[in-house]
Structure 1
Amino acid sequence: MKTMDEKLKQPAGILHGIGEEKEKELQQLGLFTIYDLLHHFPYRYENMEVEPVEKLRHGDRVTIAGMIQSEPAVRYYGRKKSRLSVRILVENILVTAVFFNRAFLKSRMNSGDMLTLTGKWDKYKLTITVQDVQWGSPDPSRQLQPVYSVGGGITVKKMSRWIQQALQAFGNNVEEVLPESLLSSYRLSSRSEAFHMIHMPADKEKLKQARRRFVYEELLTFQLKMQTFKRQERLASAGNTHEFNKAEVETFLQTLPFPLTGAQRRVIDEITKDMQDPLKMNRLLQGDVGSGKTVVAAAAMYACHLAGGQSALMVPTEILAEQHADGLRQLYAETGLNVVLLTGSVKGRKRRERNTAIYEGEADIVVGTHALIQEDVNFKNLGLVITDEQHRFGVEQRRILRDKGYEPDVLFMTATPIPRTLAISVFGDMDVSSIDELPAGRKPIQTYWVKHGMLERILRFIDKQVKEGRQAYVICPLIEESDMLDVQNAIDVHAQLQQFLDSCHVGLMHGRLSSEEKEQVMQAFAANEIQVLVSTTVVEVGVNVPNASVMLIYDADRFGLSQLHQLRGRIGRGEYQSYCVLMADPKGENGQERMRIMQETEDGFTLSEKDLELRGPGDFFGRKQSGMPDFKIADVVHDYRALETARRDAASLIQSRSFWNDQQYAGLRSILEESGILDGTKLD
């Protein structure tokens, strides 16, 4: 005899009305089994609730109920096209109901029949263009009609009918996966009850209860997988215990020419504690532009040196590697640490000498680009790997660098503040440290939103700044002119600015330049050989030019808040007052709202949360971001409290002995077993 769980694994084709062709179409939608159908949740609901006529809004989809008062009339036009109209009495008001291409309904309509109609309301003509008709009075159980994602020859009605079949046959005895302790603690509906309520909600309150149940279940099972994977990974790699005296790290910090912020000190404590732990560190360090991540990295690398290990810092560009190396040499001036720079430009005898220093352990800190992962680079004792702007490197590149040491601790750094909800979702297999405080004394960047008509005035301002010795960035969304988009492109803007700003050197940079060409342009800009740099967003991450005080962004409404903030972070790095000018004529409220928010705040974490609210998680990372989990029902923006709760509960369960042994957790354990994580399978 089949268990209930086995019955749900039966093919969807066993249901009445699903033939071989329809079964194939369901499979193309990813629906293979009864279980899949039950988990194919509606993406929205049609509100079929009847409202008084005087409350109906023009143009809305509405539901009304009334009695037929006139003989239905049909008018034919064109080939096979028809218009049926009939007068019905709704609350003592005569309303005209119009049906297109459904002349066959005329024979069914009789004076005095009660109809419940759903369609588009014309307030001025007292007319409803009918989409759905039911004979009889409104059915209270049909007030919320589910709408499903469909495709091929499958209609929403067919999908709804099959899912209701599955519910009637199997829905009453669905096995529960959540333990009674969690069900009662959060007052959650049973799984069986929730399936019925989400597919056939009696009212909005029942629907809310069902959704709350499935959101928590989905987030909890996801977090259990993440936490288990994290636990398995850490247990599988013993890592290295870095033995050092924290007092010596503090002595180094006291030599710095500036005081650390409270956030920097907190993060340094988190990282050094990880390094002293025997399990391998796998931590993400996120901090706003200018928050002082480099100093935190320097403290971690100094701790690694005290423990007898070498550190590698991999960055995306040569100029950034050179700046990091120079900065670290200044920070380590009183320690005697040997900082070695290794990039693609280092060749011949110099490269061999530096490779030897790395191999023999004379190089304490190695800063470089992709050159660090070449076969000829071998470390004596690599204990700490730090990747700056980790999203710029592939997984394989990061793995190659890690494999040059024996289970080194790993620290990823990013200047893109990630909202806490996404950090929990996407980086759940990492620990996350956030520097959410900027150093004291930084001058706020003055941000202005202007219309395109003010361009000449802005360019005069840039010219004035350049004549005072400053430099400027001018950012465009495209490289070349496009027939599809009416936005400024870098090549045309560069030509225009060369004419307008004829007293200075205007440079051009975009993604089609080779890496070497980009490096040359940025080197020239850093050396003030170029005063105004016209560029696409390739300058978003990288070079530090303290002399740059103006950032002009064309068509700023085409960028997200986080990207605008990253671009703005290229300026305001020196002693001079800096200005960011957002030039945009946004058509929608969303674009205008982003411009307003940018003027009001410089806090990257606040902006990232706002960006997430405005654009959603898919657009925050880009549609093809592989790390973004694809939830069926949960929304990491709106369900952030449930996500926090699920993460806390998952961490507690994974660490408890009872979770791995007690019968009440068997359902959750079976989900982990089926995912393959317990067998060491890589987490999707």
Structure 2
Amino acid sequence: MLGKTSENHITSLSEIPIQFIRGVGPKKAALFARLGVETAEDLLWHVPRRYEDRSTLRKMSECRPGEECTVVGQVADYRLIRTRRPAFTIFEASFSDSTGMLKVRWFNQPYLADLFEHGQLVMLSGTVQQGRRGGAPPEMQSPIFEIVDEDTDREPIHVGRIVPIYHGTKGVSSRLIRSLVKRVLDQHVDHLCDVVPQDIRERLGLIQFKTAMMQIHFPKGPAPRVDGGSALDSLNRRRSNAHQRLAFDELFLVELGLGMKKVGMKQRATGIVFQVGGPLTERLRQHLPFTLMDAQERVIREMMADMASPYPMNRLLQGDVGCGKTVVAAFAIVCAAESGYQSAVLAPTEILAEQHFWSLRRLLEPLGLRCALVVGGQSKAERNVLLEGIGDGSIAVTIGTHALLHDAIGFNRLGMAVVDEQHKFGVLQRALLKAKGACPDILVMTATPIPRTLALTVYGDLDVSVIDTSPPGRKPIHTIRVLESQRAKAYRLILHELREGRQGFVVYPLVEESEKMDLQAAVSGWEQLKGIFPDQSIGLIHGRMKVSEKEAVMHAFTGGEIRLLVATSVIEVGIDIPNATIMLIEHAERYGLAQLHQLRGRIGRGPESSTCILMTKGGGSPETKRRLDTMVSTNDGFVIAEEDLMMRGPGDFFGTRQWGLPELRVANLIRDVGLLEQARTEAFRLLDEDPELAHPDHAGLRAVLHRRWKGKLDLVGVS
């Protein structure tokens, strides 16, 4: 977006600090910074949060008490009243039209005495009140107003129209933002640059950029709408043509950035050409105690095709909890080992790293591949032995947490990196891991189901594979909600499963803000349960325990020595106990949907029926009820993910800031999925024609793209 400040000089609105717009200054600029508005361009992209219809003008005689009215009247009389209270003033004014009078009061706005003049024409909008005395004219208190300039054809911006309402802060009102936006548009609208190529605009029927920017701030009359309906509804639902155009621009720039990243990655990087389908891979297949599902076989074929190519694999593997992603990852690890390369497996928590270590060791060590676990708290001697094995290449697979990113860890020949639960890692960590090898292949695994179109945005630099089936023989988990007053019922269900020879979990929430109290609750609950189930072996595990202590507890639980495991939510991911058939989640109302689904996924991994009990105090907010009702009604991770997205919003769900993606100020990844698909198609079509946007016609687009991404293009993805 460009503003021409002289005939021969063009200045980007992004280079005009907000403080230099008339009416702002340094102090106000600091307040605008709280809203993320630092430049004139930021101001235009600070779009209204909602709209009010103040367009219908009424005669004063038609206004009734309690109604919202917009009127035009002449100043008949006014006075400033200074009260006995210090610094408290009342400004009273009377306005008239051909049908009647209206009395208005404003509080603590003494400057109005210098603003109004007798006979002046003023537009007012507010709630009408009954006059204080019988026969007195109706009144308004602190209405929105605008002085009508009869000598010009300037349109009102605060009343007498559909009026934009903005997110503000103390000292920055919607009125001020409207005035400043109008000032910037008046000065620069003819020079706003439409960076979306004309052929794309015509193909999709998009209105001009400058038209969209004017209409989104100051819609004229009935706002154009894609799907019909009223002007006000169109605007407030962000379905107007103006909203659609600006939303498309945002998504187009996101997809262009991701697409350029993908193109650049292939141009810059020469990957490892692995030898696929070797004898070790076949031995792994024969060693498995089960037959791979068709979905797993499909994903393995997709991975092998990547690994055999000269480009680095960058693949996202999606699959619901318990669908068999780790086994699929093992095939990539074995393929790398057959070609003489090491693998690294990065997990977000120690307990998940340990679980991967145990699972992969069972699968790989019979094939002669040495596995090692690197986590915090290991002794110096133990760490030195591991470092030596990683450095000389005798350790084929290294599993760990962010400790793997430590500078001291040097791989001999890193060829494959597996990143689990990727949504818990930031871009920098992902890039650092890739820096450990010359150009290793990357497999990202997530058990958080993400609709495919959204995955293509958040993981836009990755190819996507989905395991969309569960292992045969597994039954849906029966989920019930139980109140604290029905605790005995929950304990009867647990005891029944334990006496049948099965195992279970009792999970307590653990959050940083109240970690000590939560930990005490878990320990106290463990003590109580030992009294309630005296003939059962009950264990305790939490994040504060040493690695060796946690390993001992999990070994005992896996071996069946512990029948009931009391845990904090550290067991959210990675625990695989086929004999576990019951779970009680304490204070279930404190969890988000995704976390509840992850926890529930620890049971139901064997052939027996399983039950998840959601214990709550009762009552709770409508959002809490909606979360728990969703859990009771479905086991489908994608349905739960969609509901979670709708409730939390994409920013919170994905943590988009940690990904380095540009902020979306108009577009919404849930609401605008159709636009997202169009934007992706058009972005990749354009990059097929001009991979680096080097054509002179695309110079403006390239400049805006780099400005929006703020130099983060080199960090998005795993380059």
1:44 paired residue number? 50
1:159 matched to 2:171: no
Match of 1:619 among 631, 639, 652: 652
Amino acid at match of 1:118: G
| Closer, same or farther: CA 395–657 of 1 in aligned 2, 3 Å | closer
Q: Verify the 8 A CA contact 1:15 1:162 in the aligned structure 2.
A: yes
1:70-90 per-residue CA deviation (whole Å, 9 max, x = no partner) reads: 999999998347698999999
The CA RMSD measured in Å over matched residues stands at: 4.7
TM-score by length of 1: 0.82
Residues in 1 aligned to 2:513 and 2:436: alpha-carbon distance in whole angstroms: 45
- 2:663 corresponds to 1:606: no
8 A contact 1:95–1:128 mirrored in 2: no
Partner of 2:256: 224
Structure 2 unmatched ranges of 5 or more: 1-5, 131-137, 149-154, 225-234
- Matched to 2:574, the amino acid is G
Is residue 592 from structure 1 mapped to residue 625 from structure 2 by the alignment? Answer: yes
Residue-by-residue CA offset, 1:171-218 (whole Å, 9 max, x unaligned): 123222111101111111212211211111114534511111111111
Paired position in structure 2 for 1:171: 189
**CA distance, structure 2, for counterparts of residue 60 and residue 640 of structure 1:** 41
Pick the aligned partner of 1:286 from 318, 325, 345: 318
SS at match of 2:613: strand
CA contact (8 A) 2:526 2:566 kept: yes
Name the residue aligned to 2:211: 193
Judged with a 3 Å threshold, the aligned counterparts in structure 2 of structure 1 residues 452 and 487 are, in CA distance, closer, same or farther, namely farther
User: Residue 6 of structure 1 corresponds to which residue in structure 2?
Assistant: 11
Secondary structure (helix, strand or coil) at the match of 1:444 reads coil
Q: Which stretch of structure 1 is more off in the superposition, 208-217 or 495-504?
A: 495-504
Q: Is 2:528 the partner of 1:465?
A: no
Matched residue type, 1:17: G
Partner of 2:125: 117
Letter in 2 for 1:292: G
Structure 1 residues 160 and 324: alpha-carbon distance in aligned structure 2, compared to 1, 3 A threshold: closer
> Residue 151 of structure 2 aligns with which residue?
none
Return the alpha-carbon distance in structure 1 between the equivalents of residues 448 and 257 of structure 2.
26
Range with bigger deviation, 346-355 or 625-634: 346-355
Contact 1:5-1:174 at 8 Å conserved across structures: no
Q: How does 1:251-270 map to 2 (within 5 A)?
A: 253=285, 256-270=288-302
Mean Cα displacement is larger for which, 143-152 or 339-348? 339-348
1:501 to 528, 533, 540: 533
- 1:407 and 1:247 map into 2 onto residues whose CA distance is 25
Question: Residues 470-496 of structure 1, C-alpha deviation per residue, up to 9 Å, x if partnerless?
Answer: 222222234799699999943443344
The structure 2 residue matched to 1:338, chosen from 369, 382, 391, is: 369
- Say if 2:503 and 2:563, in contact at 8 Å, map to a contact too: yes
Q: Deviations over 1:255-288 (max 9, x none)?
A: 6443333322222222111111211112222211
- Whole-angstrom distance in 1 between the partners of 2:512 and 2:252: 47
Q: Does 1:388 align with 2:442?
A: no
SS in 1 for 2:11: helix
Instruction: Give the equivalent residue in structure 2 for 1:448.
Output: 480
**8 A Cα contact 1:321 1:369, kept in partner:** yes
TM-score by length of 2: 0.79
- Residue 557 of structure 1 and its aligned partner are, at CA, apart by 2.4
Amino acid aligned to 1:186: L
Distance 1:487 1:364 in 2: 37
Distance 1:340 1:24 in 2: 54
Q: Give the superposition deviation at 1:227.
A: 1.6
Unmatched segments (≥5 aa) in structure 1: none
The answer to whether the 8 A contact 2:18-2:29 is kept is yes
* 1:132 corresponds to: 144
Q: Which moved more, 1:610-619 or 1:403-412?
A: 403-412
> What does residue range 53-72 of structure 1 map to in structure 2 within 5 Å?
62-63=68-69
CA deviations 1:331-350 (Å, max 9, x no partner) are 568x8443433446988999
Q: Which residue of 1 aligns with 2:697?
A: 664
Displacement, 1:409?
A: 0.9
Sort the Cα spacing of 1:587 and 1:453 in 2 relative to 1 into closer, same or farther, 3 A. Answer: same
Contact 1:507 1:534 in 2 (8 A): yes
Report the alpha carbon displacement of residue 653 of structure 1 after superposing the two structures with TM.
1.5
- 2:331 paired residue number: 299
Once the two structures are aligned, what percentage of the paired residues are identical?
35
Worse-matched range after superposition: 605-614 or 501-510 = 501-510
Superposed, 1:228-627 pairs within 5 Å as 228-245=260-277, 253=285, 256-315=288-347, 324=356, 327-328=359-360, 331=363, 336-343=367-374, 364-367=396-399, 379-391=411-423, 402-478=434-510, 489-584=521-616, 585-621=618-654, 625=658, 627=660
Change in 2 beyond 3 A, CA 1:42/1:315: closer
Query: Aligned in 2, Cα 1:676/1:387: closer, same or farther, shift over 3 Å?
Result: closer
Alignment map for 1:11-26 (pairs within 5 Å)? 11-26=17-32
CA contact (8 A) 1:50 1:62 kept: no
Kindly provide the amino acid, as one letter, of the partner of residue 667 in structure 1: G
CA distance in 1, matches of 2:596, 2:71: 51
Matched residue, 2:152: none
Measure, in 2, the Cα distance between the counterparts of 1:682 and 1:601. Answer: 37
Q: What is the one-letter code of the residue matched to 1:132?
A: I
Aligned length: 672
